[in-house]
Amino acid sequence: MSTVVNPPSVALSTAELRKRAHVHSAIDTHERAMCLRTGVLDLDLLKAAHLTVPSSLEDCAVVGVAYAARTLSNLTQRTEAVFHVFDASGELMGSYFSSAFKSFAR
């Protein structure tokens, strides 16, 4: 029996992550952000940034969202909406900037 050792992946540079971040310019007010109920997380982007992705999110990238705040993202250097993310069972999985989402829906 042989053992396969995969070399550790290298995290993307800040510039590369910035290029891959999603822009949601329509979410420009608290009122618009508060209307959103679901989102599709970009799991590949989160993994490329070496962020922890809970196993329940690996099963389904479509998540429930609840608007949490607007604040400056150090990555994008823009003020962005931040959303609490809930998995299919309703468990809070964390909070993510809007740039980590591929899309949102009401």
Pairing of strands 92-97, 38-41: unpaired
For the chain, domain boundaries: 16-105
pTM of the predicted protein model:
0.87
Residues in Cβ contact with 85 at an 8 Å cutoff, skipping those fewer than 6 apart: 39, 41, 57, 63, 64, 65, 92, 93, 94, 95, 96
Per-residue pLDDT of 50-82, as tens digits, reads 898 988 898 888 999 999 999 999 999 999 999
The Cα–Cα gap between 37 and 63 comes to: 9
Per-residue pLDDT of 12-64, as tens digits, reads 889 999 999 999 999 999 999 999 999 999 999 999 988 989 888 988 889 99
